[in-house]
Structure 1
Amino acid sequence: MSPCKLFGFDFWVENFNNPVLGPVFRQLYFRQALQHLVDETQWIKSFLHGLAVPTYSPVPTGVANPFADSLSKTGIYGFSVAQAKQLLVSHGWKVVPNGVSTCIRPGMASNECGAGVSAGTALTIPLLFASGTTSLAQEMQAYKSVAAQVGIQINLSEAPFSKVIASKAPSSGPTCTWGMANWGGGWSYGPDYSPTGGELFSSGVRVGFSKVVPETVTLIDNTHTAPPSESQAALDAYQNFMIKEAPVVYQPYPPYQLSEIASNLKGVDQSPYGNLTPEYWYYTKS
């Protein structure tokens, strides 16, 4: 068995336009808390047979490349239920382990819940994920269990990949009630081979998410316009901001597939871009 690793990263998304939960998702401290509850190391060991790589930024690390810097390889929001709890408590939430935490200090001060978060807002979050993959279902069940320890009630449901993708289409208004969506495949760069994230996190893009931060757009634009001598510095600024900003919930990135390749089949190249090149394959005598 040979794992085919793609040049990409894995994550799920929050609905920043949800009329109740959107203001909560827009708080950096809350996104940090969500990330602290992802036990990537344990998920890789328990559910992904040690074959996946952790994700900390949109710049891939599973395939050797010159783009990822040291922070993209280590991250800054490691698994910690205690830190997730501390972030909630220090920002005005009454944390109820195995219950539902609520906002008790609304407002915009540094020790309050944040802009747009009303008193009594409850941390009950629907999470729709793609059906058909055992490891993804295990990961989401594990996340639900850990989140419950800080009073975040995750209501899981599953649906075919196409429905999950459709659910996160940009929208707004009182009917935009989905909470989080996880299609289980993340994103692979190809034919957009430079991991600048413009097609995901910039403004006016068809596959973009509903939260666009002006600083993100500027940093992405800089990766496109920097002279060659400054291109890596521009990419480093972008990826480090995306680690700290946590605009999505990063999760382990498993191989695209496990390939069985006959020992006498030569010329096989498992492309990190998912390309097949059978014109280069040939057999030798056993």
Structure 2
Amino acid sequence: MTVPRHIVASVASLAVGVLGLQASPPVWAAATNAPHQGGTIVVAMTPGVAPNGFLPIYSSATFTNINIQLSALLYKPLLDITPSDTIDFHRSIASRITWNPSGTVYTITLGHRYHWSNGQPITAADIVFSWQIIRAASQPNAPWVFGGQGFGGIPTRWKSVVAVNPSTVRITLNQPSNQEWFIHNGINQLTPLPQSVWDRYPTNMHQELLFLNRLQNSPLAPQYRVVDGPFRLTQYTPNDEWIFTPNPNYGGHRAYISRLIFQYETSDANEFIALKGGTVQVGYVPFALLSSARALSADAISPFYAFGFNYLDLNMSSKAGFIGRQFSQLYVRQALQMGINQPAMIKSFYHNEAVEDFSPIPAKPRTEFFDPSLKNPYPFDPRRGRALMEQHGWHLDHGVWTKGGHRFAFTLMYGNGSIAANSSLQLLAYDWGQEGFDVHLEPENASTAFGVMVGPKQSAWQMAYFPEGYWTYEPDYYPTGGGLFLPHAGGNYSHYQNATMNQLIAATYRPATTLAQSQARMFRYEAWAAHDLPVLYMPYYPALLVHSDSVHGVVRTENPVSILYSANDWWVS
């Protein structure tokens, strides 16, 4: 959802077929003061956004940044992804991964550093149990849909996952695969769950999925008492606050602080007031209030560009009626994209801090995945957009495109919150209106709007935008578009389908013999995604991270790739 990342660690690692303890830990900047024990840190959440799922195996309805971030405090991911997009096996549950030359068989060796909070070891059976849940939730008749479906070849490329012994897991695929892609995007989704605690229905996976779904948003249920992450959730009030305390049996670096509180915010203004008053120690300055940031005299501000992109979803489902059929036409998407005035939004609402987005791989932060020769195929040009609509038989009737008795009118549902994002949408609606599209803006609570978009009624929405929840590349750390744009992918909320896109994504999954070959495949996918517009691209902007001068370690431990909180390394002076 939220720096640079690299396509492969090295050609040598591909040839050897081993990732393990030889990996180096990330280098963090040195702290300026000695850490202190104790204290409370309050973190403001994005306005209007609240967690709704704490299990690390996400449904399509819980597959959001805030859920990923908070559940990782309880359940440590299998692999530790570094800020440079490598794997640090010193800080991972897995101590080593090996594979055969064809990239079809992978062997995971578990280390002994981490364990469950009840003293039991993390075993291969826990990994296999997580896979059984993922596989069952990826089937057509599952009671809920696994949110990571499509990433890392889940489930179509996976043949078997077996426990060889208590500390070894073997995964077999049904075809050769790009090893870096599979390890980053596939294996890393196997976050361990304690089988002895959660496996209520061992012979009935349908009932097990229903059981897990009932407890997704019940983090005080007894099952959540057994964790392997640095914190435990000990108290919460819905739409108010979520209180975490340290896990005293954590196998990694144990937290300095005594309490970590995530606080729900209703608006940018309320968050700013809380930061100014000192009741919140970590949060974000909204762009609309950036000119007032000097009032935060006891705080430090730093821009934070995560690796991702910002976009609008269009409902192209065959069940979405007339508008769905129009959105599935490329020329319509082209006309709409040419009506998005990204330069004006960046200048007027983002203080020139954002960058124009025109593909799934952002120009900033610059990475080896981004093709520097790629140009924006559809810059702001409403005159060209109008000409395109006219070429396809549309005519203006009272300023609105009309064809065959149908007016081109639709509703854009969006998660209400940021003043800058709301202002951008007002400008967008005006520009589209000038171009001939009749758009009605419908603000909603972000969680409510997201629930509508991923719900079973595919005709319930037409266009959607989540400005505070743009896509960032986790768990798809190797940023192919499989989980976004393949049919039935967990992140393909637009129901987009295109044969060329499918072929280009499939090419990125094949083993590469050189870095140049792997990069060329990514560039071809990226160029097609810019041309074919599976989504509509919006300006990509950084978060303006704020922390109190009394809180240390926040910026030093930022990870723009995983976007996970390393709050166990924060401390209060």
TM range, smaller chain: 0.7 to 0.9
Superposition map of 1:2-13 within 5 A: 2-13=302-313
| RMSD of aligned alpha carbons | 2.3
Higher relative contact order (CA 8 A, sep 6+): 1
1:140 aligns with 2:425: yes
Q: Give the C-alpha shift of residue 237 in structure 1.
A: 0.8
Superposition map of 1:16-165 within 5 A: 16-17=316-317, 18-72=320-374, 74-96=375-397, 99-103=399-403, 119-165=404-450
Q: Give the C-alpha shift of residue 136 in structure 1.
A: 1.3
Question: Given residue 259 of structure 1, which amino acid in structure 2 is its aligned partner?
Answer: V
CA contact (8 A) 1:4 1:271 kept: no
Deviations 1:33-80 (A, max 9, x none): 0100111111011111222222111112221210100255x3110001
Q: Give the C-alpha shift of residue 132 in structure 1.
A: 1.4
1:269 & 1:54 partners in 2: Cα distance? Answer: 28
CA contact (8 A) 2:413 2:464 kept: yes
1:71 & 1:30 partners in 2: Cα distance? Answer: 26
* Higher CA-based Rg: 2
Q: Give the C-alpha shift of residue 91 in structure 1.
A: 1.1
Are residues 48 and 194 of structure 1, via their aligned partners in 2, closer, same or farther at CA, if it must alter by over 3 Å?
Answer: same
Question: Given residue 250 of structure 1, which amino acid in structure 2 is its aligned partner?
Answer: Y
Quote the sequence identity (%): 29
Which TM-score applies when normalising by structure 1? 0.85
1:164 & 1:264 partners in 2: Cα distance? Answer: 34
Superposition map of 1:117-266 within 5 A: 119-169=404-454, 176-184=459-467, 185-209=469-493, 210-229=495-514, 230-260=517-547, 262=549
Q: Give the C-alpha shift of residue 128 in structure 1.
A: 0.4
SS at match of 2:332: helix
Q: Give the C-alpha shift of residue 88 in structure 1.
A: 0.7
Question: Given residue 308 of structure 2, which amino acid in structure 1 is its aligned partner?
Answer: G
CA contact (8 A) 1:53 1:254 kept: yes
Q: Give the C-alpha shift of residue 265 in structure 1.
A: 5.1
Deviations 1:171-201 (A, max 9, x none): 56xx714210001122000232111021111
SS at match of 1:21: helix
Question: Given residue 69 of structure 1, which amino acid in structure 2 is its aligned partner?
Answer: D
Question: Given residue 441 of structure 2, which amino acid in structure 1 is its aligned partner?
Answer: L
CA contact (8 A) 1:268 1:278 kept: no
CA contact (8 A) 2:486 2:496 kept: no
1:171 & 1:2 partners in 2: Cα distance? Answer: 40
1:86 & 1:144 partners in 2: Cα distance? Answer: 19
Are residues 283 and 181 of structure 1, via their aligned partners in 2, closer, same or farther at CA, if it must alter by over 3 Å?
Answer: closer
CA contact (8 A) 1:39 1:79 kept: yes
SS at match of 1:181: strand
2:414 & 2:479 partners in 1: Cα distance? Answer: 25
2:328 & 2:557 partners in 1: Cα distance? Answer: 42
SS at match of 1:176: coil
2:413 & 2:340 partners in 1: Cα distance? Answer: 16
Long gaps (5+) in structure 2: 1-300
1:168 & 1:148 partners in 2: Cα distance? Answer: 24
1:170 & 1:226 partners in 2: Cα distance? Answer: 36
CA contact (8 A) 1:36 1:83 kept: yes
Match of residue 296 from structure 2 = none
1:275 aligns with 2:560: no
Are residues 87 and 171 of structure 1, via their aligned partners in 2, closer, same or farther at CA, if it must alter by over 3 Å?
Answer: farther
Structure 1, 60-69 or 136-145: larger mean CA deviation: 60-69
Question: Given residue 27 of structure 1, which amino acid in structure 2 is its aligned partner?
Answer: Q
CA contact (8 A) 2:357 2:539 kept: yes
SS at match of 2:336: helix
Match of residue 127 from structure 2 = none
Q: Give the C-alpha shift of residue 151 in structure 1.
A: 1.6
Deviations 1:77-131 (A, max 9, x none): 00011111111111111034x732101xxxxxxxxxxxxxxx1221101100111
Are residues 89 and 39 of structure 1, via their aligned partners in 2, closer, same or farther at CA, if it must alter by over 3 Å?
Answer: same
2:431 & 2:338 partners in 1: Cα distance? Answer: 10
CA contact (8 A) 1:198 1:220 kept: yes
CA contact (8 A) 2:551 2:570 kept: no
Are residues 219 and 170 of structure 1, via their aligned partners in 2, closer, same or farther at CA, if it must alter by over 3 Å?
Answer: farther
